[in-house]
Amino acid sequence: MSRRRLALAAGAALVVAAITGCGKVTAEVVVQDDASYDITFYMLGDDAEIATTGATPDQMAETLVSTLESTPGTDDWTFTTYSADGFSGVEAVGTGIAGDEATMFGTGLFESDDETVTFDFQYPMTLVVEGSGLTEEQGAAVTINMVVDFPGTVLEHNGALIDDHTIEWTATGDDDLDFTATSATSTADPSTTTEPAEEEITEPADDASDEVAAADEDSSDSDADEDGVNWLLWISATVAVLAIGALVAWFVVRGRGPRDPSGPGAPGHPGAQQPWGPYQPPA
């Protein structure tokens, strides 16, 4: 699946939320000193509203899991159906994800050095809503929540501090996402210095280390370009597929219902106003 195709589909979870009436997108992230991270991702819809699409909550959750499992680039992920508090969907778990893995905007989520870990997540959600043909009200139907557990004490953030090393951000689908934070690494200690250790390293070792680091970086970039996938993009792309299926089911179910006397009009006689407004379903 190409990066372009995934980029075009990113944010399509909003479409599902618009169909089901409301939805939840939740991410729980644990970050390591090297900026790699583990993530548990929940994508859920309201059970009562899912039922209006012609499928049960369990069916929709099982379909989502099956689709995700067959999506290229998801071999290292685990997917299970999830249901709680009147919402159903999928739980996706990924581990050991590189912090500098390129997103659709060419940047990673996390960066680290010897003393700090930096988190920077920017997402133009309002553009995604507009590009998907949704209204602000439909975008606002999605609740977005992200909790990040950092390896050390949080130094700066623009979210809500849960404890010394955990930050929470909340938003809705009609907000542009701007989540940022910086924490210390677990080993950072301003009262000590690493100069003695640096003196023991010979110049050739430094060169070799630089070459290995460069090779690893090139390999990481190559893999990202070749696969063209990351957790945000392929999950969004999969939801786009489900959104189309749910929309079709919505029309089919209503098409099988009792005929409305004021249905489609004959030539010269307009029919009743349809619920989808200016958008017309494909013939």
pTM: 0.64
Check whether 28 has a pLDDT greater than 90: yes
Whole-number Å distance between alpha carbons of 25 and 35 = 23
Parallel, antiparallel, or unpaired: how do β-strands 110-112 and 142-149 relate?
unpaired
Lowest mean pLDDT among 7-11, 49-53, 128-132, 150-154: 7-11
Smallest CA-to-CA distance from 98 within 206, 220, 180 is with: 220
Whole-number Å distance between alpha carbons of 89 and 83 = 6
Looking at residue 218, its pLDDT comes to: 53
How confident is the model over 112-170, as pLDDT tens digits? 998 999 999 887 777 766 666 667 777 777 788 999 999 999 999 999 999 999 999 99
The domain segmentation of the chain, as residue ranges, is: 3-188+228-253
Tokens of 228: 């063209």
Q: Which of 71-85, 160-174, 265-279 has the highest mean pLDDT?
A: 160-174
Check whether 275 has a pLDDT greater than 90: no
Residue, of 57 and 67, whose pLDDT is higher: 57
Contacts of 103 (CB under 8 A, 6+ apart): 109, 230, 232, 233
CB 170 within 8 A of CB 154: no
Residue, of 245 and 156, whose pLDDT is higher: 156
Whole-number Å distance between alpha carbons of 262 and 242 = 31
Check whether 108 has a pLDDT greater than 70: no
